[in-house]
Amino acid sequence: MKNVVIAGATGAVGNEFIKLLEAREFPVKNLRLLASARSIGKKLEFRGEKIPVEQLTSKSFNGVDLAFFSAGRESSKVYIPHAVESGTVVIDNSSAFRMDPDVPLVVPEINPESVFKHKGIIANPNCSTIQMVVALNPIHKAAEVKRVVVSTYQSTAGAGAKGMNELLNQARAWANGEALEISSFPSQILFNLFPHVDIFMENGYTKEEMKMVNETKKIMNTPNMGISATCVRVPVLRSHSEAVWIETEKKITPKEAKEILKKSPGLTVRDEPENGGYPMPWEVDNTLDTFVGRIREDFSHPKGLTFWVVADNLNKGAALNSIQIAEVLEAG
């Protein structure tokens, strides 16, 4: 049994941590909920008990075995070293330590052995990276993926509860003939989309796009894989979608790919497009698997394959993947 804390407990991902720890019967001896000072006084329910939210400080980790962090990059950089110093193992959902060579970056379906190389910190990958590599890795093992081109269609939940609320508030304002307020995104999200997730880098890509490039190579141990991403924010509340094109070393047919993916852990193949049998964010909301459909040959390349991937970005893209990492640790 573990003494566990959740840092960022009142956020969208924090709420999913609480629900999934209970649903998956993780061996929690004692659960403490941490957040910023403005959340003190709130109470959140876990296993029928109302637990008060405490302020996250450098002294929050005495006697804590395991910490799930989803409090943002800056909070992770400030407080995680204190947690590690206290002997706590931290699973961090931010980007603060993902590319640190001493920190394993883990998707349990792909590289669970990396969990045991930790020095106190295990990084949870970016949400859009996780769902792509869960689908990509089985095909890579069968046919060696040489190149990936991906376009993402990312929900407002990627910006947390405030992003989801902004879409809802804009919808209400539009219905009432009122002005739309913009604060979480660079532009209006209602009835709109924009290829702008995170900040732009000097190379013309956004930080989100480069996360997908660099994190995929680290997780899959494929430093020479060619990867290009375009990340788009769309007016969807929850669950990210991705259109993925790959070039393989060995030709693989859509039928072969489907059979491989059907047998792969964490994946559900839904691929009967003529009957509407393809994954959509509305249906995938609040599920745990990564869903794949529209698996087809790319006629423009002799070794090209194209497919569509959808997953709940708050579950598999964040809280669930972190808890699966903890489960690997627990199983030893």
Is 3.30.450.40 the CATH classification of the domain at 129-313? no
pLDDT over 90 at 288, yes or no: yes
Each residue of 21-74: pLDDT tens digit?
999 999 999 999 999 988 898 999 999 999 999 999 999 999 999 999 999 999
Question: What are the E-state strand segments in 165-239?
Answer: 226-233
> H-helix or E-strand containing 49?
strand 49-55
- What stretch(es) of the chain map to CATH 3.30.360.10? 129-313
At 69 the pLDDT is 97
Residue whose pair of structure tokens reads 């990396």 in the numeric block: 114
Q: CA–CA distance from 27 to each of 2, 239, 287 (Å)?
A: 6, 28, 22
Nearest to 213 by CA among 200, 231, 199: 231
Catalytic annotation, residues: 127, 240
Residue pair 64/57 in contact (Cβ under 8 Å)? The answer is: no
Residue pair 109/219 in contact (Cβ under 8 Å)? The answer is: no
Residues 6+ apart with CB under 8 A from 304: 245, 246, 247, 248, 297, 298
Query: Per-residue confidence at 118, pLDDT binned at 50, 70, 90?
Result: very high
Give the CA dihedral 203, 206, 211, 214, nearest 10 degrees.
-20
State mean pLDDT over 202-231. Answer: 98
- What stretch(es) of the chain map to CATH 3.40.50.720? 2-125+318-331
Query: Per-residue confidence at 332, pLDDT binned at 50, 70, 90?
Result: confident
Decide: residue 169, CB within 10 A, 0-12 exposed, 13-18 middle, 19+ buried: middle
> H-helix or E-strand containing 211?
helix 207-220
Is 1.10.340.30 the CATH classification of the domain at 2-125+318-331? no
> H-helix or E-strand containing 324?
helix 320-331
